[in-house]
Chain A
Amino acid sequence: MKIAVLSNASAGVLAGMLRPRHEVWIPPGWGAWAETAASPPREMLAFAPAAIFLALDPAGRNPGAGGVLERAVASLESAFPYSEIFVLDMPALASETGPSFFDPRMAAVAGMPWSLAGLRAIAAEIDRFAGMLQGGVKKAVAVDFDGTLWDGVLAEDGLDGISPRPGFQKFLLSLKERGVILVALSKNTPSAVECVWSDPRMVLRKEDFSCLRIGWSEKADNLAAAARDLNISPSAFVFVDDSPAERERMKALSPGTAVPDFPVSPDGLPGFERMLSRRYFPRLRTAASSSGRAASYAAEAARRRAAEGLDPAEYLRSLDMRIDIAPARPSDVMRLAELSARCSQFNVLTSRRTAPEIAALAADPRHVVLAVRAADRFGDYGTVAFAIARIDPGARAEIVDFVMSCRAMNRRIEFSVEEALEKELSARGVETLFARRDSTPKNAPVENLFAEFGFETVRVSGPSAFYRRRLAAGPSPAAPCPSASPAR
C-alpha cells in the first residue's frame, strides 16, 4: 500500500523496514515534519498515499505540542481528502515494548531514538493500520462475562457477590454506538445469567449484544457460530477474556481473531480500553458514512420479521426497493473504499482498492465508476455497492470491480447495477464487455454472477474465470425486480 511517514526523527531505517510490504514516501531530510504537513510538497501530493503516519518522538525536536500536531493533521486532511491520517501513539508503543524500545546510541549515529525492537513495534503498528484499509477491519468484540464484565464469578458468588465494572461496560457501549457489534461469549448456564440483566449496576443491557452465545462449549466454536449468524468472518472479531487459558485456546483455534492480553488488575482497564480503541477500532475517515450502521441492523431485523411467511419474490416486491445508480462523485470515494476494504463475499476480484486509487479511477475518462445507493420501506441502506469498468481501445471494456455490501445481498440489486453499467458503456461505444472473477474462500455469492448476467465463460484458469458478453448482441440482463432510477 502507498504510505507516507512524517516524523521529527530520521525515518529512513523505519521506511527501509516497511518497504518490502509497502510503497513508502518520506520527506527528503528530516525533522521538518510540521512544515511538510502545513505545505505538502508536490512529490507527496503526486504520491497520493492511502495513509499518512505521524511518528513523533515525544522527547525529540518539535513533538507537536501547543496545537502544532492538531494544525498539522487538519492541514493534511485538507490536502489529502482521500487519505487516512494516523497519529501513532508513540508513548503507548514505548510502554508496551518496554525499555528496549529505545537505543541511546542511535541519537548520535542515526538521528532517531529507536532500537530495532522499537522500530519493529512501530512498523507492526503501521502494518496493522494499513491492513485495516485492505480488508483487515475488525467489526465485532466477543466479550467474556465473569472476571471481564464484572469482578467475580456469577455461578459461584451469586448476583450479590459480583461487582459489575461500569467503566469498562461504558467503554463497550461506546464502541457499540460507533457501529462495533457486541457478542457475548460466556461459559455459564444461560438461565443463570438472566438475573444479571435487571441489575441496576449493569451498564450493558441484553439488547446491546447482537448475539449471545452462553454455554459450556468451546469458545472458538461459539465465536464461529456467532460469526455465521452475523455474516462476518471470525477474523473480524476481537476476543476479550480475562482468562489466559481461554485466550490461548482462542489463539490456537481461531487464528485470525485478535486476542489482546487482558490486564491482570482492574487498574489496567483504562489503558486496555485506549489500546483496544486505538489498535482495533480507530476512527477512520472511510467509516464516516457508515455511522448509521446500528440503525441499519435494526431495520434489518424488521425486514426479517416481514419476510416470515412470504416467498422470496413476494418478499422482495414487498420491500419496495429504490435504487439510485450514478457515476461516483468525490463525496462517494471514502465510502467506496470502505466497501472495497470490508466486503469479502460479494466481491468479484477482492482488489481492496484504497480511496486515492478509487478517486483516480473516478476522475479518469477511461474508467466508469458507478456508485449504488439503495433504500426500501424499512430504511435507507446508504451506499451499498459499486462497479468499475475500464474502457479499452477497439470498442471493448472490462469490469474490474463489482462489490456489494452483504447487507444488500439477495435483493437483485446487482442486476440493476449491471444494466446501468452496460447502458453507460454502450453509450460510450463499447460493444464487447469482458469480466473476470477470482474465487476466494469467501466470495461464493458471486460464483455464478456473470453467468446469471448472460456472459459466456471464455475460460477458467485456476481460481480465475474469464467472461465475455457482446453488448449489441442481446437484451439487457434478466429483468431486475426493482427498477433503477435515472442517473442523478
Chain B
Amino acid sequence: MPTEREFLDFAAGILGIPPPEAAMSLSCGSIPQWDSVMHIRLVLELEEHFGFQVPVGEIAEVKTLGGLYGYARTGK
C-alpha cells in the first residue's frame, strides 16, 4: 500500500503540477490540467503504478485524489 505522499507525488507527476499542490481534496475540473481527458489518463496511470483497478462504472464517479487513493489502499 502506497503512503499518501507517494500517491500524491506520483499523481502530481502525471498532472504536471508541483507535488505540494497535489492534495487528497484536489478534484477533476478544479485545475485546468485535470480535465475529463486527463482524468482517464490519471486513472490508468495510477492503476498501473499502484496495482489496482477501478470498476468501469466508477471511473467517471471518483473525482478526487482522495477517492482514487481509497482504491489504491484496498488494492482493488
* Stretch from A106-114, A144-152, A418-426 at the B interface: A106-114
- B6 at the A interface (CB under 8 A): no
In Å, the complex CA distance between A103 and B44 comes to 10
Name the residue on B nearest A109 (C-beta).
Answer: B59
Is the pair A16, B44 in contact by a Cβ cutoff of 8 Å?
no
Q: A12-B37, A16-B37 are in contact. Are A105 and B56 (CB under 8 A)?
A: yes
Query: Is A13 interfacial (CB-CB < 8 Å)?
Result: yes
- Which residues from 26 to 72 on chain B have a C-beta closer than 8 Å to any C-beta of chain A? 37-38, 40-41, 44-45, 47-48, 56, 59-60
A17 to B59, CA, bound (A): 19
A109 to B60, CA, bound (A): 7
Min distance, Cβ A9 to any Cβ of chain B, angstroms: 12
Given contacts A115-B44, A116-B44, A116-B48, are A13 and B37 in contact (CB under 8 A)?
yes
CA distance A116 to B47 in the complex (A): 10
The count of chain A contact residues (Cβ–Cβ below 8 Å) is 16
CB-CB < 8 A to A16: which residues of B? 37-38, 41
Residues from chain B with a CB closer than 8 A to the CB of A103 are 44
In the assembly, what is the distance between CA of A12 and CA of B41, in Å?
Answer: 9
B32 → chain A closest CB, angstroms = 13
Complex Cα–Cα for A16 and B38 (A)? 7
Most buried by A among B37, B40, B47, B59: B40
Q: Enumerate chain B residues within 8 angstroms of A104, measured Cβ to Cβ.
A: 56
State in angstroms the CA–CA spacing of A109 and B41 once bound together: 11
Chain A residues, Cβ within 8 Å of B45: 116
CB distance from B33 to the nearest CB of A (A): 10
Show 14 residue pairs from A and B whose CB-CB distance is below 8 angstroms, ordered by the A residue: A13-B37, A13-B40, A13-B41, A13-B44, A15-B37, A16-B37, A103-B44, A104-B56, A109-B40, A109-B59, A109-B60, A110-B40, A116-B45, A116-B47
Q: Kindly list the 10 A-B residue pairs having the minimum CB-CB distance in the complex, ordered from nearest.
A: A12-B37, A105-B56, A116-B44, A110-B40, A109-B59, A13-B41, A13-B40, A116-B48, A16-B41, A108-B56
